[in-house]
Amino acid sequence: MLGDATTAGSNVRGHYFRTRQALGAASRRRDSRVVFLFGTIGYLLVYLVTVGDLAYVGGPSSEITVRTVDDLSRAVASTGFFRFGAVAVVSVAGLTYILSPLNTVVALLLAVLVGANLSLTYLGLVQPRACGLEASTGVLAGVPALLSGAACCGPTILLVIGVQASATVIAGFQFLVPLAVAMLVGSLFLIGRQVDPQLL
């Protein structure tokens, strides 16, 4: 038993070390850095739109306007599952961004994980002897968080697809963000162990 536990621990450390090495290799290559950047920014934008923090509302004005709140404690006020209050509204060229520091932290965490997944997936695909990689793994892991956006009452996605919410569904929505984080970290290890930095 002790031997099994030791082996398991050794495997985890091995996966971690291998993933870290792969990430290091990805950070040194220009092409994988570009993939990371595009993946991170792309997911960040999509996430902000789906949760309602970023919206195109139209209007001809190209002038930047910033409206801030006096009560900065709004930043830590919970407005839903992993959703927090905003402290500023930034508008430019018809785009409106609701600046919520904690929402932004959550968004950045998810986006960086998606970017890292995409970057390692890319490396896995371009390395000569890689096999068994699913290019979509990292992206799919980020999907649950995209569904976590909520209108004032009820999840936005249910409005879109026209499905009625229930107490169970609402309860399930609170797990979407942590589920996405867990899946993204898991897939990162999964992909990372299959990338051999020596081959890059």
Nearer to other proteins, 41 or 77 (CB): 77
* Nearest partner of 116 among 165, 167, 187, 65, judged by Cα: 187
**How far is Cα 34 from Cα 32, in angstroms, rounded to an integer?**
5
If the CB atoms of residues 32 and 53 are measured against other proteins, the closer one turns out to be 53
Are 192 and 138 a contacting pair, CB within 8 Å? Answer: no
CB closer to other proteins, 36 vs 84: 84
Q: Segment 51-90, which members bind other proteins (CB under 8 A)? A: 52, 55, 57-59, 67-71, 74, 77-81, 83, 85-89
Q: Name the β-bridge partners of 101.
A: none
Number of residues that bind other proteins (CB under 8 A): 43
| Window 3-32: residues binding other proteins (CB under 8 A) | none
Q: How many other C-beta atoms lie within 10 A of the C-beta of residue 143?
A: 13
Distance CA 123, CA 121 (A): 5
Contact letters (x/-) for other proteins, 140-179, by CB under 8 A? ----------xxxxxxx-xx--x-xxxx--xx-x------
Convert 41-79 to b/e letters by CB count within 10 Å (16 or more is b).
eebbebbbebbebbeeeeeeeeeeeeeeeeeeebbeeee
Nearer to other proteins, 42 or 52 (CB): 52
Question: Residue 150: how many CB atoms within 10 A of its CB?
Answer: 20
Of residues 7 and 166, the one with the C-beta less far from other proteins: 166
101 binds other proteins (CB under 8 A): no
Residues that bind other proteins (CB under 8 A): 52, 55, 57-59, 67-71, 74, 77-81, 83, 85-89, 96, 98-100, 150-156, 158-159, 162, 164-167, 170-171, 173
